[in-house]
Structure 1
């Protein structure tokens, strides 16, 4: 299957909001009363604060999305000088296993490299084994001293991938 990675357009926002919330809910990441589903669904704000990329199949269907950010921006959580970060990577549960997640990560790595970043950092839920396997396969390593928790019971593990020009 051929995937196109491109910046999202406002026409993509409703689909991105729907499948992002669905994917996070299905993965168990929305348990508890922290309101993260509303932040995930606010696609317009994410698109304004960073670069919202989508993975699109041959038919034009949007299969996944990710928000790419730089340090000091509204959605940056971990990134420091010389680092980029991506957030809210999600693939429509009906389209998982087709390579959209990996293609979106690779697009973020390419973007960070083109911007001259030295590394990319991300957070992953402590229990999210499929995500951790993907990131490990791509070379991300755990940086436990940067782990953190935005809410009680939400434990985030920090991962980092050094980039080579």
Structure 2
């Protein structure tokens, strides 16, 4: 994977056979900067129950047959909110627009579903990720209560 051709990048829907890839990608980035928290183990261990069943979805980036990125849109039925989460691109493929492409695809699908606002929680040290979010229209909003210790910035975009 030394050279990159965007035409060879596919954005595909999550399926159970990709659970190990989804877990690997998220473990990789989280442990690079932070530590895995109980909520990570729960969500990554059973994405069907915790991400898909409540009405969300996961998209994956596949390059030459290898899953190199992931992202999810989570639905909270209690307050009908939507959150972008579990965005990850494998280290050797970062900086090539894959995260942007994934995030854009997630927001486009959200629009087709009638979602009007998407929020996310991130960390200020993740400058490339924050750049992607801002490029896609996300703006900082008050942090409020967050699930993860690593979360120190909340952003939202109106669709």
Q: TM-score w.r.t. structure 1 length?
A: 0.78
Deviations for 1:70-125, whole angstroms, at most 9, x for unmatched residues? 2327xxxxxx54x5322111111122122221111101110111112222211112
How far has the Cα of 1:62 moved from its partner?
Answer: 0.7
Which of residues 146, 149, 153 in structure 2 aligns to 1:149?
Answer: 146
Q: Which residue of 2 aligns with 1:112?
A: 110
Structure 2 CA distance, aligned partners of 1:106 and 1:43? Answer: 25
Structure 2 CA distance, aligned partners of 1:22 and 1:40? Answer: 15
How far has the Cα of 1:36 moved from its partner?
Answer: 4.6
SS in structure 1 of the partner of residue 96 of structure 2: coil
Which of residues 152, 159, 162 in structure 1 aligns to 2:155?
Answer: 159
Does 2:134 match 1:136?
yes
Deviations for 1:52-80, whole angstroms, at most 9, x for unmatched residues? 110112x111111111122327xxxxxx5
Structure 1 consecutive aligned stretches of length 4 or more whose deviation exceeds 6 Å: none
RMSD of aligned alpha carbons: 2.3
Does 2:122 match 1:124?
yes
Change (3 A) 1:70 1:37: closer
- Stretches of structure 2 that go unaligned for 5 or more consecutive residues are 1-5
Change (3 A) 1:105 1:5: same
- Stretches of structure 1 that go unaligned for 5 or more consecutive residues are 74-79
Q: Which residue of 1 aligns with 2:77?
A: 72
Q: What are the residue-to-residue correspondences of 1:2-81 with 2, within 5 Å?
A: 2=7, 3-26=9-32, 28-30=33-35, 34-39=37-42, 41-45=44-48, 46-49=51-54, 50-57=56-63, 59-72=64-77, 80-81=79-80
How far has the Cα of 1:37 moved from its partner?
Answer: 4.5
Q: TM-score w.r.t. structure 2 length?
A: 0.80
